[in-house]
Structures are given as C-alpha cells and as structure tokens.
Amino acid sequence: MRKITVSLLLLGFMLLTGCGLVPLSAHKTSSQGPASDDFHIVTSFYPLYIMLLNISADIDGVTVTNLTRNETGCLHDYQLTPGDLQKLQEADVLVINGAGMESFMDKIMAQFPDIAVVDATRGLELIEHHEEFDHHDEVKHHEEDNHHEEANPHLWVSVAGAAQQVDNISRQLAVLDPEHGEAYLGNSQVYIDKLRQLGAEMHEALDTAPRRHIVTFHEAFDYFANEFNLDVVAVVEREPGSEPSAGELAQIIEDIKQQQAVAVFTEPQYPPQAAETIARESGVAVYALDPGVSGPEDADAYLRLMRQNMEVLKRALYR
C-alpha cells in the first residue's frame, strides 16, 4: 500500500480562516513508490458519505469510501476498529463533520499525522451546548478547534446546514485536488440547488402549521428546528444511550403540559421506550424523525429522507 502523501495540513488549512491550502500533488514524491492514479476520499460517517457521492459524481479518477459502516449512526463515543484504520492507509483526504463529532480524531492523527483533513463545519456558525436546554441558544462563529467541543455538531440535519457543508467541502477539495476542482464545484452547485429546492418545499409545507412546540429525542434537530421555526421544549436524552432519570422524565412531562407540545419524536436508530413513556404520561402522540445518520448507498438518500420527515411533521403539526 502506498503511504499517505500529504504533510502539514491539519488545522490551519481552511479557506474560511484565510490560511492557504497546498495541493496534494506538491507533496507527492517518487520515493514513495508506485501509486494509484485515483484520488481517494474517505468520509468519517454516513451523512458526509452521501454528500461526497454527490460532490464526486461522475468524476473519473475519484473514489469515495466511508470510514465507518453506513448503519453506524452518530459517532458519539464510537471506537475505531482495525478495519476502519486500514481504510485510511490509501486515503488522500479524510472528510470529517468536525465540531467534536469525531471523538476519535486524536487516534487517527497519531497514526496518520500527515493526512489531509477537510472539516465540513470549519468556519460555520454553530449552536453552542448549554446545560439548560434552549434551542434558541446563540450561535457562534467557530474559528478555533478548541471551541468545537462546545458546539452542537448536527448541522447536516438542517437542509440549509447541509447545503453549507456541501459548499464548504467542495471548496476545500478544489484546492487540495485542483485537477478535479472545477468538477467538484460544479457537482456541488447541482446538489446545493436540489437542497434549496427541498428546503423551499419544506417551508411551504410547514411554515403555516398552527402547532409548533415539540419534544425531540436528542439535540440532533436543533438546527432543523431553527430553520423551520419549531420550538423544541425538551429533549428525551441529552446524549444517545443515556436514558433520562425519573426526575428528568417528570420535568419533560411537565414541560410538555405547560408548553402544550404537540408530539414527542423518536429516532429510528435508538430505542423508543423512554419517548413512548413520556408520550403516554403526557397524553401526546409519538412520531419518528430520522436525522439521516444511517441509510443506503444512494446519492439521493438524504433528499428522500428529509421529504419523509416533512410528511411526518405535517401529520404531527396539523393534527
């Protein structure tokens, strides 16, 4: 296997920070032996993989591999496997979500210190985490990596946020791989246009809903709620897999009653029992919203998924 051929490109390479990116060809040397002509992009998890299927569509000489399995879901506390690390052996670029989503990046950088990293949220405005939940939290322009650990990383769940990430990724790739740069940017614009059309359809469907107070499973839908002016009055689990205590359950039920929330939303990747208990005790309906962290290898998967979420919300908000 050929070695990774990139150096000095981890934290200071983003366009939005004003630091220059160095094309990967500038670092390739003949001493590294024969190498494939393909430009190999590895994505950290499923939402980014779908974005890259669109950004790299029909570009000869570019391949995309997902680091984690497509059914992995969110990367909260995910532990890399030897097979995951093996996929990085031939990577030219690793595309990550950033904002603290990939807690395993220290391990990757220890083993692949010269790998080029494209951070999809670098330089974008992100919602900050707070102990007291409020989906109207202030957003912050993140220019330093140490701020990311305070941020909500689920930007892709917002359709507008996904479009921002697609643009962010394609611009960085165009600098790192100038041979295919024009194609990345062209494909990116095609996909962004589809996302904007989807967002317009969703606004038309949801903006006039008479009831807007909801409970979500965890904080994955904060950006989505901001985009479509929904009021998230509570979340079932602060972190997936961390079920609420009896006191927290009682508080969520009280919030639902006081705020007259219309529904509790589960996520298909996680057990629904806690949400169902809350719904039963508070007398509201249960629906499922999918944050798009798992699914098929299909470039249109995110578009279909969000249209499904739109139909679910129409049933919940107009009932």
Span 254-263, mean pLDDT? 96
pLDDT digits (tens, 9 = 90+) for 77-129: 799 999 999 999 989 999 999 999 999 999 999 999 999 999 999 999 999 87
pLDDT digits (tens, 9 = 90+) for 36-54: 579 999 999 999 999 999 9
The pLDDT mean for the chain works out to 85
Whether residue 213 sits in one domain with residue 121:
no
Does any domain span residue 109?
A: yes
Indicate the SS3 state at residue 22: coil
- Give the residue-averaged pLDDT of 58-62: 97
| Structural tokens at position 255 | 């919030």
Work out how many domains the chain is built from and give that number.
Answer: 2
Is pLDDT of 18 > 70? no
Question: What residues have CB less than 8 Å from 48, skipping those under 6 apart?
Answer: 95, 96, 97, 120, 156, 165, 169
Partners of 128 in the β-ladder = 151
Burial of 215 per CB tally in 10 Å (0-12, 13-18, 19+): buried
**Comparison of pLDDT for 1 and 88, the residue scoring more:** 88
Q: Which of 198, 232, 247 is the last residue of a domain?
A: 198
CA atoms within 13 A on the CB side of 227: 26
| Full residue range of the structural domain in which residue 89 is found | 15-198
Quick check: 22 pLDDT over 70?
Answer: no
Is residue 311 over pLDDT 50? Answer: yes
Asked whether 251 and 85 are in contact (CB, 8 A), the reply is no
Same-domain pairing of 135 and 233: no
* Residue 174: φ, ψ to 5°: -60, -30
Confidence of residue 150 (pLDDT cuts 50, 70, 90): confident
Predicted confidence (pLDDT) at residue 133 exceeds the cutoff of 50: no
Q: Residues 192, 206: one domain?
A: no
Chosen domain end from 175, 198, 221: 198
CATH number at residue 119: 3.40.50.1980
Enter the pTM of the model. Answer: 0.84
Please indicate, yes or no, if residue 3 is contained in any of the structural domains.
Answer: no
Bigger pLDDT: 145 or 233? 233
pLDDT at residue 242, as a whole number: 79
Output the pLDDT for position 21.
Answer: 53
Residues 25 and 133 placed together within one structural domain of the fold: yes
Percent of the chain with pLDDT over 70: 82
Q: Assess whether 184 and 238 both reside in one domain.
A: no
Q: Are residues 153 and 19 in the same domain?
A: yes
pLDDT value, residue 36: 55
Is 134 a residue whose pLDDT tops 80? no
9 within domain boundaries: no
Q: Are residues 77 and 190 in the same domain?
A: yes
Beta carbons within 8 Å of 196's beta carbon, 6+ residues apart: 163
Per-residue pLDDT at 149 exceeds 80: no
Residue 259 and residue 148 share a domain: no
